[in-house]
Amino acid sequence: MVAIAKLEDCPKITIQECGEPLIAIPLEKFAVTTPHPYEKLGANYGGRSPYYLRQGVLKALIAAQSKLQEDYSGWQIEIFDAYRPVEVQQFMVDYTFASVVRDRRLNLQKLSAQQRQSIWEQVYKFWAVPSLDPRTPPPHSTGAAVDITLVDHRGETLDMGSEIDEISPRSHSNYYANSKTKERRQYHARRELLHQIMRKAGFRRNPGEWWHFSLGDRMWAWLCNRENPANNAIARYGRF
């Protein structure tokens, strides 16, 4: 099993907020998941839009889209989620907890302390803690993280081998890396295509989530430093 990148287990990453604004994503340039998946579930963005990113992050995402279309005419990056207030992070953490309870056919009111602990551990393998501490913001609350996949020239969303937000080992970025079957090798190839397009634009991918990319937040800085400890990268985007 691939280890999941969780900032809670990482050395402290300093944030030096650069003050860049959140900018609306020009949705006409991308494919977009509609209606927005979390708003559809009832998440309240408080009048804000999930389709926003920090100015520099958006510029890099547009560059990634341009590079993709140079190599694969008619293809698009599909945006699943971008900016996410901490309140929405809390909503989705609670929703996911309830979903795991339901999937396990358990009674929420009769959970033992051990069962609750086990479920929370599973949830937090894939969801950042909805922290209000300015030193430890959830990645999406900074406007520097985006969840994406790929759409081909026929307008079809590619099968990546797991759904976005799927709580399963299949969601680990390299889950299919050593697969023997053609179908599973294709899943890995598609994930790597997305990875390389985004990496060339400056993003880093969460090893535990093939769809999650960030640039300039704590996750990004930690991953850069893990690649090259001499970098001593710091985050430039805090909670917005």
Active site residues: 209
Report the C-alpha gap between 54 and 65 in whole angstroms.
16
Q: Can the peptide bond before residue 137 be classed as cis, meaning omega within 30 degrees of 0?
A: no
**Which long-range contacts link 16-20 to residues 24+ away (Cβ below 8 Å)?**
16/234, 16/235, 16/236, 17/236, 17/237, 17/238, 18/56, 18/216, 18/236, 18/237, 20/54, 20/55, 20/56, 20/236, 20/237
Report the C-alpha gap between 199 and 60 in whole angstroms.
10
Quote the tokens at residue 232: 């001593």
Yes or no: say if 139 and 209 are a contact pair by the CB < 8 Å rule.
no
User: E-strand spans in the chain?
Assistant: 22-24, 31-32, 52-54, 76-81, 145-151, 204-205, 212-214
β-pair type (204-205, 212-214): antiparallel
Within a 10 A sphere around the Cβ of 30, how many other Cβ atoms? 17
Treating both helix axes as pointing N-terminal to C-terminal, what angle do 55-71 and 182-200 enclose, rounded to 10 degrees?
130
